[in-house]
Chains A and B, each alone.
Chain A
Amino acid sequence: MQEILQYLFSGLTNGAIYAVIALGFSMLYSSTELINFAHGEFVMLGALCMVTLAVNLGFPLIPAFFLSICAVAAAGLLFERLAIRPVRHPQPIVLIIITVGASIFLRGIGMLIWGKDAHSMPPFSQHPPLDVAGARLLIQSVWILVILAALTAALQMFYRRTLTGKAMTACAISKKAAWIVGIPTKWMVLLAFGLSTGMGAVAGAIIAPITMSSYDMGTMLGLKGFCAAMLGGLGSLWGAILGGFLLGILEALGVGFITSGLKDATAFVLLLLVLYVRPQGIIGPGEVKRF
């Protein structure tokens, strides 16, 4: 019993990480129909910024957190302005390659600024792990879950209650129609990028204490986060969260009951299954363009 619970906790921890990253993917897709292959690198930037600010420069946690998010979101805005908007014929293949190129570029920048080593950072609070029926849960994992919940609530409020949020939803449903009623679609796309990369930064900042942050941590995380987003249903907020946790737990159970060597394959096998059997993901088509 204790083992299954521990696998579950392990799955929850990883799952929450995938969920936050998947949120960023889904959020961007729902507002712009774009998939940003470089999303994982923004997560990396967020993590490394947090480490530099909180550890090397000694900022207190909360200012470091918000500063990292702002810095990375700014990078995301720059990225949209310089790399996405100038594209004259935005076919999927072109955009895929641009974002792939961006991910290589950002990884190179990460290596130049932070070097090739890994960097670690102490957890947000110093409690010992929680003991639940013999299974241990890190306090940092609890933090991740809490922040994830707060983020979800904030996003929900943004999309349902504020005018800007509703405008973004309108853009997601139909860009032309939104433009006709006077919504500045170019600004909406910019904002969507800023929000999405900001969320990537949040993911990075909250996992930095658990993982060892390095310039190449973003690739695998980005890919798995994307698989989670597809699993839940690309474009759906709840889908991203569901997909993330499902992926995390299935991975952990796979390690526990099958073999640890194929852990990475879990995400991609699930991805292929979703694509072949139910491309809309678990949540389904109705919810695809709305939150």
Chain B
Amino acid sequence: MLSSRKCRFGALAIAVLLAGALIFTPGVFAESHQDAYKIGGIFSVTGPASFLGDPEKKSMELAIEEINAAGGVDGRMLEPVIYDTEGDPSKTVMAVGKLINKDRVTAIIGPSRTPTTLAVIPMVKRAKLPLVSCAAGNKIVDPVKPWVFKTAQSDIHAVASIYQHIKQNGIKKVGIITVSNAFGESGKEQLLAQAPDFGITVVSAQSFGTNDTDMTAQLTKIRQEKPGAIICWGTNPGPAVVAKNVKQLGIEIPLYQSHGVASPKFIDLAGKAAEGILLPTGKILVAGLLPDSDPQKPVLLDYINGYENKYNETVSGFGGYAYDAVHLLARAMEGANGDKAEIRKNLENLKNYVGISGGFNFSKTDHNGLDPSAFVMVRIKDGKWELME
């Protein structure tokens, strides 16, 4: 047997070295004092939710640039410290730990997803640090937690918009097909819970995997129950496959999608099968079609121009969550001099802020600040979005 004694010695030596490296790395004990306010950002920039995290990261940087160009907050600049969570709760926990203890940020923007947000709520509570999440899940702000806020529209409102439209068209029975991840599950929960409020019955509830290639079996099962409409809840690419399958099977009843596919990418993927699909979306997708009297229009157009000029790519609805979060935070930080409890209080009392995702009115019982008017129903026609009344 090879000298296992040397083996042990070697491994132990390496362990001691590692420990030493950790102890003597600067910053382990040191306090950091800067002039700029450090704002932490955690997004799923890579990984399956990168369509959320990537534009959110870019929007946060854009927003901070704008604020700094206008003089910063109380004359002090903002400095972003952004980490990638890859959509993984454990990595998110580590990243938040880093932001709180190593970088010593004043507040945190993000994460992009609901599970990752839920994972870090206990940490920000202990650290007494404001968190403004960009995730959609209701559970984040219901029940309300003093230090946690969110800027993304809730599934509650999205589902309400869809059901409202369905009720208006006299449809009583629907079939739902949802993706088996946190987003799909949350949607399914809301769809089932709110149906009776609109006099609607869900006759069939099917699910599919994030990378599944064919949903004809599930759709066939739904069709058997003879619903008046089908609602698909997921994020690209699954819903695009569902759209194609619906056309393939010759299903004529209307297909509704969720705001998870409110992006040009969906039309790209689904091609001709996207025709006629209805979905709720934040106003950003149809900014140009809004009446000039809409207070959100100038804010939206500004953001779209700024983003497209800086990054050379089209906006999606998701980046707006981070953009709003940064601006809201900056507003709350005015006059607070970096005091986290003060910032939290200011955020809670913020009213009448016109953002990308809607008009925000926070309160002690509402840490999302949005209402159903944050969504508009659109239909896809000729590969473009058509605003519905």
Query: Do A and B touch, yes or no (CB under 8 Å, in the complex)?
Result: yes
Q: State the A residues within 8 Å of B (CB).
A: 3, 6-7, 9-11, 13-14, 17, 111, 116-120, 122, 129, 131, 136, 138, 207, 210-212, 214, 216-217, 220-221, 251-252, 255-256, 260-261, 263-264
Asked if residues B221 and A255 are in contact (CB atoms below 8 Å), the reply is yes
Asked if residues B240 and A212 are in contact (CB atoms below 8 Å), the reply is yes
Residue of A nearest to B205 (CB): A260
Please tell me if B54 contacts chain A, counting CB pairs below 8 Å: yes
Asked if residues A260 and B248 are in contact (CB atoms below 8 Å), the reply is no
Q: State the B residues within 8 Å of A (CB).
A: 46-48, 50-51, 54, 180, 206-209, 211-214, 216-218, 220-221, 224, 236-237, 240-241, 248-250, 265, 268-271
Please measure, in the bound complex, the distance between the C-alpha atom of A10 and the C-alpha atom of B221, giving whole angstroms: 12
Asked if residues B209 and A120 are in contact (CB atoms below 8 Å), the reply is no
Asked if residues B265 and A117 are in contact (CB atoms below 8 Å), the reply is yes
Asked if residues A120 and B217 are in contact (CB atoms below 8 Å), the reply is no
A255-B211 contact given A118-B236, A212-B269, CB 8 Å threshold: no
Residue of A nearest to B238 (CB): A212
Asked if residues A10 and B220 are in contact (CB atoms below 8 Å), the reply is yes
A116-B237 contact given A210-B214, A260-B218, CB 8 Å threshold: no
Most buried by B among A117, A217, A252: A117
Nearest CB in chain B: distance from A106 CB, A: 16
Please measure, in the bound complex, the distance between the C-alpha atom of A10 and the C-alpha atom of B242, giving whole angstroms: 13
Complex interface: chain A residues within 8 A of B47 (CB): 116
Please measure, in the bound complex, the distance between the C-alpha atom of A107 and the C-alpha atom of B97, giving whole angstroms: 29
Q: Could you pull out 30 A-B pairs where Cβ atoms are within 8 angstroms?
A: A3-B220, A3-B221, A3-B224, A6-B216, A10-B214, A10-B216, A10-B217, A17-B213, A116-B47, A116-B50, A116-B54, A118-B237, A118-B269, A119-B269, A129-B248, A129-B250, A131-B250, A136-B249, A211-B213, A211-B214, A212-B237, A212-B269, A214-B237, A217-B211, A221-B213, A252-B217, A255-B217, A255-B221, A260-B207, A260-B208
Asked if residues A260 and B236 are in contact (CB atoms below 8 Å), the reply is no
Residue of B nearest to A2 (CB): B220
Residue of A nearest to B244 (CB): A210
Please measure, in the bound complex, the distance between the C-alpha atom of A229 and the C-alpha atom of B240, giving whole angstroms: 29
Please measure, in the bound complex, the distance between the C-alpha atom of A78 and the C-alpha atom of B315, giving whole angstroms: 40
Complex interface: chain A residues within 8 A of B212 (CB): 263
Asked if residues A260 and B224 are in contact (CB atoms below 8 Å), the reply is no
